[in-house]
């Protein structure tokens, strides 16, 4: 168990937890190889800046959403250790991946400094609760070291913000200087994971290094019970070849956290089993067929 009960207790108490070395060395290497399909190395960017102009002129161009080319990042997006931790936090197996994105930040290319804020505006039309399966769980996974000069994420413990209103979601330095005095940097090594609440004030800080790149993967998880929550609807990407490949090779549980019907669900009939097999010809349908047969089998008297 990579995310321990102590990590989750810290998350519930102060609104965030840091899990060092969440990824193995092999997973980091595979993730970096996959990230190289999207982002140049620092040396490549310096040698041919014209080729990568969009990366330095448009900060949003630095972010790419799931599904990803290659498989390593898709596997991390639905990592069984992440799913298991969210199940424990929400107290249910009905968990969904609401959002997943990768992000690169290059030192010396502009300002990445943010104000303290909460992330819920794009993830619910109301305000966040932080109990039971009303929780939404935010995560940032770092593929590179994040020392002080590489723009660490700043967080404020919920133990110090109990009386701070959830609205507005953004807290400016001018109006709330006291909150900025309470923030702490998340200094991380490659492979570390930051978990935080939708009610945790946080921000990106300025990168002061002259050169370097910070690579990260971001996640938001939620319960499948509450339809007023959620950022992304994965069927909107149903025609994406990368998602089709991932669905075909994923485990049933990985598919479920994207909203795929689980094994044994009433959705699976003779007709749907046959049609889904045609849509994903490389997908192993054995578990779904067995689940459907078990559900149809009369109960013993």
pLDDT mean values, one per 10 residues, the chain (301 residues): 96 97 98 96 92 74 91 97 98 96 92 94 92 96 98 98 95 97 98 98 96 97 92 90 96 96 96 97 97 80 54
Closest CA to 3 of 20, 16, 26, 15: 20
Per-residue confidence (pLDDT) for residue 300, from 0 to 100: 57
Query: What are the strands of the beta sheet with 116-117, ordered from one edge?
Result: 170-171, 116-117, 202-204, 153-155, 184-186
Per-residue confidence (pLDDT) for residue 75, from 0 to 100: 97
Q: Are 116 and 160 in contact (CB under 8 A)?
A: no
Q: Which helix (H) or strand (E) holds 151?
A: none
Q: What is the pTM of this model?
A: 0.94
Per-residue confidence (pLDDT) for residue 50, from 0 to 100: 86
Dist CA 22 CA 2 (whole Å): 6
Q: What are the structural domains of the chain?
A: 5-234 (2.60.120.620)
Per-residue confidence (pLDDT) for residue 298, from 0 to 100: 66
Per-residue confidence (pLDDT) for residue 60, from 0 to 100: 63
Orientation angle between helical segments 5-14 and 80-90, nearest 10 degrees: 50
Per-residue confidence (pLDDT) for residue 5, from 0 to 100: 96
Q: Which residues, at least 6 apart from 208, have a Cβ–Cβ distance to it below 8 Å? A: 107, 148, 149, 151
């Amino acid at each position: 168990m990579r995310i321990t009960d102590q990590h989750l207790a810290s998350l519930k108490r102060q609104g965030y937890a840091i899990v060092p070395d969440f990824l193995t060395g092999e997973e980091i290497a595979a993730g970096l190889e996959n990230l190289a399909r999207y982002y140049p190395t620092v040396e490549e960017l310096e040698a041919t800046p014209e080729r990568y102009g969009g990366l330095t002129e448009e900060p949003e161009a630095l972010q790419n959403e799931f599904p990803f080319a290659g498989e390593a990042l898709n596997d991390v997006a639905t990592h069984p250790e992440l799913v298991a931790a969210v199940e424990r936090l929400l107290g249910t197996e009905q968990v969904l991946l609401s959002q997943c994105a990768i992000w690169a930040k290059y030192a010396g290319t502009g300002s990445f400094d943010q104000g303290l804020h909460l992330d819920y505006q794009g993830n619910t039309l109301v305000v966040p609760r932080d109990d039971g399966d009303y929780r939404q769980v935010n995560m940032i996974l770092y593929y590179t070291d994040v020392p002080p000069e590489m723009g660490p994420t700043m967080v404020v413990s919920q133990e110090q913000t109990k009386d701070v209103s959830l609205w507005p979601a953004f807290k400016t330095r001018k109006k709330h200087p006291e909150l900025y005095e309470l923030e702490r940097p998340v200094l991380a090594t490659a492979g570390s994971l930051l978990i935080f609440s939708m009610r945790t004030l946080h921000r990106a800080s300025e990168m002061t290094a002259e050169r370097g790149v910070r690579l990260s993967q971001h996640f938001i998880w939620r319960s499948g019970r509450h339809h007023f929550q959620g950022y992304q609807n994965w069927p909107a990407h149903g025609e994406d070849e990368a998602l089709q490949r991932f669905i075909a090779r994923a485990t049933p549980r990985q598919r479920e956290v994207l909203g795929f019907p689980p094994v044994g669900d009433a959705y699976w009939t003779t007709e749907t089993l046959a049609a889904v097999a045609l849509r994903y010809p490389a997908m192993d349908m054995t578990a779904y067929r067995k689940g459907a047969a078990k559900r149809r089998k009369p109960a013993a008297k």
